[in-house]
């Protein structure tokens, strides 16, 4: 059976919207018909080579859909079930998994080397980040699917697979924001908007959003920001002015550039916590001097997948969605088709909008 997909033929090449052939699921595999897939900055990083995976590949790692068929040995989902794709599944046996750090699983991306489909002319295709969600259908290992939460439409549930788990987890698991703490979120894309909502749920205040685009102020404030700062050379000074003159208790950086990481660090109070969520390239070097590290006593930490355990966290997040505390639709600024993914990439590069959502 031929389905349409967005294929990356080689690193740096434009995406090709073309037909691919999927096999029937083998033992331990699941075939899923996608309802929606979010366009994440990580997909852009894969296409331009910032993050490397085997090519040609079908990109897309944030998605949800309906099970079409299952292979031998799959028992936790069945045809007709709604599922959320999990691009970084835990193996359960490596040192990190045994220590409860499933987001650091050493085997999480082992599936990217397999050929999961072929082009119509017979070329093998790899799943960009395990799940190949930029396609009408995909075949994935069973551990890459989680039952979709009840009461959450599948088109919205797609966002749970990356943006929401990452943004929510960055606030609640990595930075461990407490009620009454001040928070600054640098970068108001899909993950940044999720982090702002998570900060509001945590009872933080004030919550300051920072972005290069003034047009994002309304989005940020709808998500929970009490203040908005247009990024500039004086950003840290403006954040300090909005947080009693000391700086934010917590800074969450969602861009992945040396300049924005430095801005987040400089915006954090003495003894505060800076969490870096954004994925940057090897050329993005952040410089600190030894004296400032001593003097400021800040904590700087990386954050992978929001330090989340999807099996544990999806039910909690779904509870916030059903209670009206977390608005998944508010993260989406564009609902598009497969053919418009290149335009969504261009908008991300230009700093426009929140999450673009491919709706099938």
pTM for the full predicted model:
0.93
- Integer-rounded Cα Rg, in Å, for the chain is 20
pLDDT band at 351 (very low <50, low <70, confident <90, very high): confident
pLDDT tens digits, one per residue of 187-241: 999 999 999 999 999 999 999 999 999 999 999 999 999 999 999 999 999 999 9
Question: Closest Cα to residue 86, out of 46, 141, 41, 22?
Answer: 141
The lowest-confidence range among 83-87, 146-150, 249-253, 278-282 is: 278-282
pLDDT value of position 48: 86
pLDDT value of position 162: 93
Instruction: For residue 133, list its beta bridge partners.
Output: none
* Angle ∠(184,187,188) on CA atoms, nearest 5: 95
* Angle ∠(200,204,205) on CA atoms, nearest 5: 105
Domains of the chain (ranges, CATH numbers): 2-161+327-359 (3.90.180.10), 164-305 (3.40.50.720)
Calculate the average pLDDT of the chain: 94
pLDDT band at 348 (very low <50, low <70, confident <90, very high): confident
- 158 neighbors 357 (Cβ within 8 angstroms): yes
Instruction: For residue 119, list its beta bridge partners.
Output: 20
Contacts 24+ apart (CB under 8 A), 214-217: 215/352, 216/188, 216/354
Looking at residues 5-12, what average pLDDT do you find?
92
pLDDT tens digits, one per residue of 16-69: 999 999 999 999 999 999 999 999 988 988 888 888 888 999 999 999 999 999
């Amino acid at each position: 059976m031929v389905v349409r997909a967005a294929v990356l033929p080689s690193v740096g090449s434009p995406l090709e919207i073309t037909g691919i052939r999927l096999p029937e699921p083998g033992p331990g595999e699941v075939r899923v018909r996608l309802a929606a897939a979010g366009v994440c900055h990580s997909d852009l990083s894969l296409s331009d080579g910032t993050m490397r995976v085997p090519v040609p590949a079908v990109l897309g790692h944030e998605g949800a859909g309906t099970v079409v068929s299952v292979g031998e040995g799959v028992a936790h989902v069945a045809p007709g079930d709604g599922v959320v794709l999990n691009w970084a599944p835990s193996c359960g046996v490596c040192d990190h998994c045994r220590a409860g750090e499933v987001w650091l699983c050493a085997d999480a991306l082992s599936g990217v080397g397999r050929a999961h489909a072929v082009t119509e002319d017979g070329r093998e295709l790899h799943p960009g980040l395990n799940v190949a969600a930029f396609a009408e259908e995909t075949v994935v290992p069973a551990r890459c699917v989680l039952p979709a939460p009840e009461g959450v439409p599948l088109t919205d549930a797609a966002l749970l697979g990356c943006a929401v788990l990452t943004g929510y987890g960055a606030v609640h698991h990595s930075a461990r924001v407490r009620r009454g703490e001040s928070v600054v979120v640098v970068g108001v894309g899909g993950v940044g908007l999720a982090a702002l909502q998570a900060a509001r749920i945590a009872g933080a205040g004030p919550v300051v959003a920072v972005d290069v685009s003034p047009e994002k102020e309304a989005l940020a404030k709808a998500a929970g920001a009490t203040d908005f700062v247009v990024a500039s050379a004086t950003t840290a000074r403006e954040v300090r002015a909005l947080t009693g003159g000391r700086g934010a208790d917590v800074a969450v950086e969602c861009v992945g550039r040396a300049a924005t990481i430095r801005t987040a660090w400089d915006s954090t109070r003495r003894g505060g916590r800076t969490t870096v969520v954004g994925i940057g390239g090897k050329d993005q070097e952040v410089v600190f001097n030894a004296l400032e590290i001593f003097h400021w006593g800040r904590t700087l930490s990386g954050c992978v997948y929001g330090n989340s355990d999807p099996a544990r966290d999806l039910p909690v997040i779904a509870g916030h969605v059903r209670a009206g505390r977390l608005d998944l639709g508010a993260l989406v600024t564009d609902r598009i088709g497969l053919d418009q993914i290149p335009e969504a990439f261009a908008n991300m590069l230009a700093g426009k909008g929140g999450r673009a959502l491919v709706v099938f």
